[in-house]
Amino acid sequence: MIKTKQSSLALNIPDSSKPRIIMVGGGFGGINFLKKINTKLFQVVVFDRYNYHTFQPLLYQVATAGLEPDSIAGPLRKIINKKHNVYFRMLKVNRIDTEKHIVFTEAGELTFDYLVIATGAKMNYFNKPDIAKHAFPIKQITHALDLRSHIFQQFEKMEIITEKKRFDKYSTFAVVGAGPTGVEICGALSELKNHALPKDYPDLDIKNMKIYLIEGLDRVLPSMSKKSSKKAQKYLEKLGIEIILNCKTQSYDGNTIKLSNNKEIDVGTLIWAAGVKGNLINGLSAKSISNGKIWVNRECRVYKDPNDQSVYSNIFAIGDVAHMEHENYPKGLPGLAQVAIQQGKHLAKSLSRIMKKKKSEKFYYKNKGVLATVGRNKAVADLPGNITLSGISGWIIWMMVHLLFLIGFRNKTVVFANWLWNYFTYDRGIRLILRPSSKKKDRMSREMESEMNETENINF
Ligand SMILES: Cc1cc2nc3c(=O)[nH]c(=O)nc-3n(C[C@H](O)[C@H](O)[C@H](O)COP(=O)(O)OP(=O)(O)OC[C@H]3O[C@@H](n4cnc5c(N)ncnc54)[C@H](O)[C@@H]3O)c2cc1C
């Protein structure tokens, strides 16, 4: 154990005879670490810039008026309050001192014996500032609410304009990135087009609304089996989505997308689902970073230098922020909730082993399957044992898995009730424009700010 002493009550955290773990991030990795950590052995301090956990796989349903934001978020204090000896502080961690074992937040600093970095990922715009400025990301609840308001504002604008060119632009939506998120947003937009919008806007010709799905690789759902990929493409085409493959998005000025095949499309809404990079914290060695993520060994320990395999003895990273090479995944484990969940649980047990002077064990990822839905009765699932499912069976599994992993009984009930309502009424009930169109003003600056890894909503 590394001994650290901090006499003052930094951030009102009491001194303890037990070693202190600081965990940064209350996402899938963080909360599963908390569920398993033995708090008889450790004092645990959790930092997160928000006071809630976000169930990111359902963000797209918030953005497309299928679910309320509250139903996919869970207050972190509710999870933490069940545990003794765990303290939560709603703070962003800005920097760490790896020599002195200190984390620096906006409100003060705190020493640690062990540090767990579980800060997840943020949007990667691949150094294209114009896209960062004008495209809609979908990574946080605030993003989903911005997008929801923007979508319905486009239709409100169409009601009052007469110029055809502008009308066509407002009614054209493009989603970049045909991974599960991109595919799911396209499916949800097409449900809006086919059911809710024609009722709300009977004077508009909603049939002319265009939805493009643009992908740099040669198929949709490139990380899934070819069979699932083909099936999903068929579903999307049936819904009227225009799929453009083998094509990179070069630029977007808020009006026109320029593609690598030299084509241009006038688009009023560009949704960016094309990639993420780690939410890094300053202070680690430059050699610890690989492809925008923190490089860890199989015990989740952060490499000081992967070339000589040296590690920080008491700093760990898990989930989306971590780059871990693994059997079957030589380029690193995928950014999936299951990876973060399993790493969180594994690390909690490992730290107990370390305290009991036992050797920590290697992490093995158990692939429990990958799922994506395109809409009602349409989903694809790649399950262990090369089993693939599609159609209604895939869709039922998709729903069950999402309900199972949602945090809290209330959220599960509300989401299920909303899904039942949406299914039988063909309605998407939450078509409210709650936020002013932030696209041109504050959203632009916030996106740039978030690019620089700044925190929203917290001012000291
Ligand atoms: C739209 C979308 C759809 C997805 N769909 C699926 C899916 O269908 N299936 C699937 O398996 N995966 C899906 N994923 C991926 C999955 O959500 C992630 O793999 C998972 O959330 C990673 O968990 P994590 O704990 O590493 O990070 P996160 O869940 O992102 O949590 C990170 C936490 O760290 C906090 N934080 C970040 N920086 C700081 C800081 N400096 N200081 C303090 N706190 C900080 C954040 O506020 C956040 O609470 C999806 C992701 C997105 C965005």
User: Is the CB of 382 within 6 Å of ligand 1?
Assistant: no
User: Is the CB of 271 within 6 Å of ligand 1?
Assistant: no
Q: Phi and psi (nearest 5°) for 215?
A: -135, 135
CATH class of 129-274+376-451: alpha beta
Atom of ligand 1 nearest to the CA of 344: 25
User: Is the CB of 69 within 6 Å of ligand 1?
Assistant: no
User: Is the CB of 293 within 6 Å of ligand 1?
Assistant: no
The Cα 334–Cα 181 span in angstroms is 14
154 CA distance to ligand 1 centroid (A)? Answer: 29
The pTM assigned to this predicted structure is: 0.92
User: Is the CB of 279 within 6 Å of ligand 1?
Assistant: yes
Q: Do 10-49+91-123+277-355 and 129-274+376-451 share a fold?
A: yes
Look at residue 307 in the predicted model and tell me its pLDDT. 93
406 CA distance to ligand 1 centroid (A)? Answer: 13
Residue nearest to atom 52 of ligand 1 (CA): 56
Contact 137, 149 (CB under 8 A): no
118 CA distance to ligand 1 centroid (A)? Answer: 9
* CB-count burial class (<10 Å; 0-12, 13-18, 19+) for 161: exposed
Residue nearest to atom 19 of ligand 1 (CA): 336
Look at residue 255 in the predicted model and tell me its pLDDT. 95
Condensed to tens digits (0 to 9), the pLDDT of residues 137-173 reads 999 999 999 999 999 999 999 999 888 888 899 999 9
Could you tell me which of 87, 28, 116 has the C-alpha nearest to residue 407? 28
Mutate to test the pocket of ligand 1, among 31, 54, 55, 56 (most ligand atoms within 8 A of CB): 56
Q: Phi and psi (nearest 5°) for 249?
A: -85, 115
The Cα 34–Cα 50 span in angstroms is 17
Atom of ligand 1 nearest to the CA of 76: 49
Q: Where are the domains of the chain?
A: 10-49+91-123+277-355, 129-274+376-451
180 CA distance to ligand 1 centroid (A)? Answer: 15
131 CA distance to ligand 1 centroid (A)? Answer: 22
Look at residue 443 in the predicted model and tell me its pLDDT. 55
User: Is the CB of 56 within 6 Å of ligand 1?
Assistant: yes
User: Is the CB of 344 within 6 Å of ligand 1?
Assistant: no
Look at residue 441 in the predicted model and tell me its pLDDT. 52
123 CA distance to ligand 1 centroid (A)? Answer: 11
User: Is the CB of 27 within 6 Å of ligand 1?
Assistant: yes
205 CA distance to ligand 1 centroid (A)? Answer: 38
Could you tell me which of 116, 101, 2 has the C-alpha nearest to residue 48? 116
Look at residue 83 in the predicted model and tell me its pLDDT. 87
* Residue 83 token pair: 């545990």
Look at residue 459 in the predicted model and tell me its pLDDT. 30
Q: Which ranges of the chain have pLDDT less than 50?
A: 1-3, 7, 447, 451-460
Assign domain 10-49+91-123+277-355 one CATH number from 3.40.50.360, 3.40.640.10, 3.40.47.10, 3.50.50.60: 3.50.50.60
372 CA distance to ligand 1 centroid (A)? Answer: 17
User: Is the CB of 336 within 6 Å of ligand 1?
Assistant: yes
Look at residue 124 in the predicted model and tell me its pLDDT. 95
Could you tell me which of 62, 210, 204 has the C-alpha nearest to residue 143? 62
Residue nearest to atom 5 of ligand 1 (CA): 57
User: Long-range contacts for 107-111 (Cβ within 8 Å, ≥24 apart)?
Assistant: 107/11, 107/460, 108/10, 108/11, 109/10, 110/6, 110/10, 110/11, 110/13, 110/20, 110/22, 110/45, 111/4, 111/5, 111/6, 111/10, 111/20
Residue nearest to atom 12 of ligand 1 (CA): 336
Could you tell me which of 262, 265, 243 has the C-alpha nearest to residue 252? 265
Look at residue 455 in the predicted model and tell me its pLDDT. 35
The Cα 244–Cα 174 span in angstroms is 10
Q: SS3 letters for the chain?
A: CCCCCCCCCHHHCCCCCCCEEEEECCCHHHHHHHHHCCCCCCEEEEEECCCEEECHHHHHHHHCCCCCHHHHEEEHHHHHCCCCCEEEEECCEEEEECCCCEEEECCCEEECCEEEECCCEEECCCCCHHHHHHCEECCCHHHHHHHHHHHHHHHHHHHHCCCHHHHHHHCEEEEECCCHHHHHHHHHHHHHHHHHHHHHCCCCCHHHCEEEEECCCCCCCCCCCHHHHHHHHHHHHHCCCEEECCCCEEEECCCEEEECCCCEEECCEEEECCCEEECCCECCCHHHEECCEEEECCCCEEEEECCCCEEEEEEEECHHHEECCECCECCCCCCCHHHHHHHHHHHHHHHHHHHCCCCCCCCCCCCCCEEEEEECCEEEEEECCCEEEEHHHHHHHHHHHHHHHCCCHHHHHHHHHHHHHHHHHCCCCCCCCCCCCCCCCHHHHHHHHHHCCCCCCCCC
279 CA distance to ligand 1 centroid (A)? Answer: 10
